[in-house]
Amino acid sequence: MASKIGKILVVDDNAGIRRALEILLPVHFAQVKTIPSPATLVSELEQFRPQVVLLDMNFNTSINTGNEGLYWAGEIKKMSPEVEVVLFTAYADIALAVEGMKRGAFDFIVKPWENDKLIEVLTGARDKALKAMRPLPGMAEGNVVSESGDQMFWGSSTAMKAIRKTLEKIAPTDATVLITGENGTGKDVLAREIHAHSLRKGKPMVAVDAGAITETLFESELFGHVKGAFTDAHTDHIGKFEQADGGTLFLDEIGNIPPHLQAKLLRAIQSRSIVRVGGSEVKPVDIRLICATNMDLESLVREGRFREDLFYRINTVHMALPPLRERKEDIVPLAELFLGRFAQKYHRQMIGISPEAAEVLKGHRWGGNIRELQNCIEKAVILSDGKELTAEDIQLDSRPENPLRNDAEEERLVRDAMQRSRGNISAAAKLLGVSRPTLYAKLKKYGL
């Protein structure tokens, strides 16, 4: 018989389900507690201190989308990162449960459940939580391993070999770099690679999503402000330029900055100095600047939407990342890299990708590039029942490969993403591989 260790908290509004679990789970857990809603979840986490929470995706509310479960799964991980969350979902909500795993849930169980499968998942979550409470010998507290796993994959394509050669030449310099490429090609990863091989690698790299900063906060975020500069400025604030002093400042989505704010950015870049909002002291800053965009800045310059002088200032070295469809030889090796990463993350024993699945991957157009491939493999690992990813595990849309991206195609993609996400802006932006402000701009552009 399995050992009775650990504590589990069940959150489900169905009294019959709670009663069934109150009979089943005590055979495997030392303590079992059930509650009908998340209303007392915070206090239960503090007082009962479970290792596992079995969380229903929907409760007695007027909304039955599963978003309530996703919300509370996120709150649990914020309050108690060591607690493992297992999602309890109806068959129709499997896609939401997969999203929950991407946000940190251990696994999900579909109702009606099989007892053996339920116990296997819950005890696995318990064992992981208990193991995490016992640091490995010699491991000091505070050692953190990044879960993002983002790393530069150079592959074997001619284009990527050329970019790598350029990086080796310019990384040790302070040359300003402009990285361009479609969404999902890894512009931010390349920026970090440049910093990691620079003479500033021991100093901070500060990344800024320039397209996500509201116009009213633009100067404050980049240049900082002094106490009392405006309402709610209760203390001095150090801006991104100062935070990056001695290191690298990475301005992503630079093409989304309005022209009147581009002028203020240009002055700071030219003088390598800033003045905090509400202050008068000129503060010199020593930064290496890297910018990135998925836009055609030269076209924006011709249209008067991007300052020509700023464009030439940030374009000392231009590195254009190719879309994944132009480096087909890298698709399967990249997929295998992601397979290994997600098999470890989701406790799956995977041995590889079948030849049929490899052909499916190579034949897809990958409009979302590496990010889309990563999400595809993550979902396939989660849902696969075997040890090898098959063609059936690879869930892709049926759009044929077409490298041309005109406005009509873009509008259709935006409409499709909004429909698939049921109007959720954040979810639609994630599907498209763009920021929320970028999606707002596209919605406005197409009158959606």
pLDDT in tens, the chain (448 residues): 445 788 999 999 899 999 999 999 999 998 899 999 888 888 888 778 899 999 998 775 444 556 778 888 888 888 888 899 999 987 667 788 888 888 889 999 988 899 999 999 999 999 888 776 543 333 233 222 223 345 688 888 889 999 999 999 999 999 999 999 999 999 999 999 999 999 999 999 999 998 788 888 899 999 999 988 887 788 888 999 999 999 999 999 999 898 889 999 999 999 999 999 999 999 999 999 999 999 999 999 999 999 999 999 999 999 999 999 999 999 998 998 898 888 888 888 888 899 999 999 999 999 999 999 999 999 999 988 888 899 999 988 654 443 334 566 677 788 878 877 777 777 777 777 776 667 877 887 777 7
- Measured N-to-C along each axis, helices 407-420 and 436-445 cross at an angle, to the nearest 10 degrees, of 120
Match 């990691």 to its residue by tokens.
Answer: 196
pLDDT of residue 406: 53
Using an 8 Å Cβ cutoff, are 285 and 273 in contact?
yes
The predicted model scores a pTM of: 0.60
Q: How far apart are CA 403 and CA 394, in angstroms?
A: 21
pLDDT of residue 251: 96
pLDDT of residue 141: 31
- State the SS3 of the chain: CCCCCCEEEEECCCHHHHHHHHHHHHHCCCEEEEECCHHHHHHHHHHCCCCEEEEECCCCCCCCCCHHHHHHHHHHHHHCCCCEEEEEEEHHHHHHHHHHHHCCCCEEEEECCCHHHHHHHHHHHHHHHHHHCCCCCCCCCCCCCCCCCCCCCCCCCHHHHHHHHHHHHHCCCCCCEEEECCCCCCHHHHHHHHHHCCCCCCCCEEEEEHHHCCHHHHHHHHHCECCCCCCCCCCCECCHHHHCCCCEEEEECHHHCCHHHHHHHHHHHHHCEEECECCCCEEECCCEEEEEECCCHHHHHHCCCCCHHHHHHHCCEEEECCCHHHCHHHHHHHHHHHHHHHHHHCCCCCCEECHHHHHHHHHCCCCCHHHHHHHHHHHHHHHCCCCEECHHHCCCCCCCCCCCCCHHHHHHHHHHHHHHCCCCHHHHHHHHCCCHHHHHHHHHHCCC
Q: What is the rounded (10 degree) CA torsion for 15, 20, 23, 24?
A: -140
Sequence-distant contacts of 294-300: CB under 8 A, at least 24 apart: 294/180, 294/181, 294/182, 294/183, 294/187, 294/253, 294/255, 294/434, 295/255, 295/256, 297/178, 297/180, 297/255, 300/255
Q: Write down all domains in the chain, each with its CATH number in brackets.
A: 7-132 (3.40.50.2300), 158-320 (3.40.50.300), 324-393 (1.10.8.60), 407-445 (1.10.10)
pLDDT of residue 275: 93
Extract the tokens encoding 16. 């019959």
Query: How many C-beta atoms surround the C-beta of residue 403 within 10 A?
Result: 10
Tell whether the torsion through CA atoms of 377, 397, 184 and 263 is positive or negative.
negative
